[in-house]
Amino acid sequence: MPLWGSVDAANNAPKFAVTPSSKVTQAPVYGNTAYDNSTPGAFVAGQVVGVFGVDTTEMGVAGHKAISPGWNEVRMGMGPVVTLSQNVGGSSYGNNALVKVTGGDVNAYGVITTNSTGGITGVAIHNSRSGRFANTGALSFSSPANAVGNVAIVAGGNNYANGELVTISNGTINATGYITTNATGTITGVSFAPNTTAPSLSAGAGFSANTAAVVAIGTVAGTGANVVVNVVKGGASATFAATLGGRAGRVQYEPLVAMKTISSDGSDDSLFPDS
């Protein structure tokens, strides 16, 4: 049974391992499994690993002249967000609302600052050089419209556990954060900024009231807490941009099977255009 074919299709991709077994990958990755893959971290953390059929036309396009026609492995490096900024500042955003950056295998977050009308004047990266992305074209930004803004602790109660999660409801997307407490378990604050133990926290979106209901505070039963959530209305029209560091933008090409050419054309034109 042949180990590869000459048609640009998954069932013709090389059946041998292109990534050996290791502590990182846990199991070998085979060429037909990695066919046309562009998902970050699908096989190796911190990399995009894919196997592509390349014909002579695709090989001749600028930037790919070193690749042999046939089956090729492509590895894309990844890196963190180094800078995060607004292209258009928008209006009616809440100061300290979160911007979520997706499109890699680890998300990044920014904290916005605003002017008196809620226009975004700056974005600070939460946890310096956070996230992991292959290139800026893969990035998506969530707009913090109608997100939870300030959180007031009216009566902090006692016997709560520091770091317990809190869920705020009544928006189109619930807000999830965590509480901070003093030595007696009294709530002293609520933060929506992601941390190492809870990296997917968010100030939510789509809240329409000035206050919103607290659904739950953690799993530890406390007493007497009264958390008042002030919801920031509005938020519109902002757009964002980021620059990446580390190995983002670095691409390594390795021929696996050299051929005179390959027939058909897989769904890889964004990486191997025909013109």
Residue 174 has a pLDDT of 84
Choose between 4 and 168: higher pLDDT: 4
Residue 76 has a pLDDT of 92
Q: Please check the confidence at residue 24 and state whether its pLDDT lies above 60.
A: no
Name the 3-class secondary structure at 7: strand
**Using one digit for the tens of pLDDT, what is the confidence trace for 100-114?**
888 998 888 888 888
Domain ranges (residues) in the chain? 10-78+247-258, 81-242
Compute the half-sphere exposure of residue 128: CA atoms within 13 Å on the CB side of its CA.
0
Q: Please check the confidence at residue 160 and state whether its pLDDT lies above 80.
A: yes
Residue 143 has a pLDDT of 66
Q: Please check the confidence at residue 224 and state whether its pLDDT lies above 80.
A: no
Q: Please check the confidence at residue 25 and state whether its pLDDT lies above 70.
A: no
Helices (H), 29-118: 56-60
Q: Which long-range contacts (CB under 8 A, 24 or more apart) does 54-58 make?
A: 54/262, 54/272, 55/8, 55/261, 55/262, 55/263, 55/265, 56/260, 56/261, 57/274, 57/275, 58/272, 58/273, 58/274
Q: Please check the confidence at residue 141 and state whether its pLDDT lies above 90.
A: no
Residue 192 has a pLDDT of 78
Residue 43 has a pLDDT of 87
Phi, psi of 56 (to 5 degrees): -65, -35
Residue 20 has a pLDDT of 65
Residue 267 has a pLDDT of 81
Q: Please check the confidence at residue 227 and state whether its pLDDT lies above 80.
A: no
Confidence of residue 213 (pLDDT cuts 50, 70, 90): confident
Region 248-274 average pLDDT:
88
Residue 66 has a pLDDT of 65
Q: Please check the confidence at residue 154 and state whether its pLDDT lies above 70.
A: yes
Q: How far, in Å, CA of 116 to CA of 110, rounded? A: 20
Region 207-227 average pLDDT:
74
Confidence of residue 15 (pLDDT cuts 50, 70, 90): very high
Lowest mean pLDDT among 68-77, 82-91, 132-141, 146-155: 146-155
Q: Which run of H or E residues covers position 117?
A: none
Residues 168/205, Cβ–Cβ less than 8 Å = no
Average pLDDT over all residues of the chain:
83
Q: Please check the confidence at residue 78 and state whether its pLDDT lies above 80.
A: yes
Region 132-141 average pLDDT:
90
Token digits for 81?
């967000």
Choose between 222 and 254: higher pLDDT: 254
Lowest mean pLDDT among 34-38, 223-227, 254-258: 223-227
Region 28-46 average pLDDT:
89
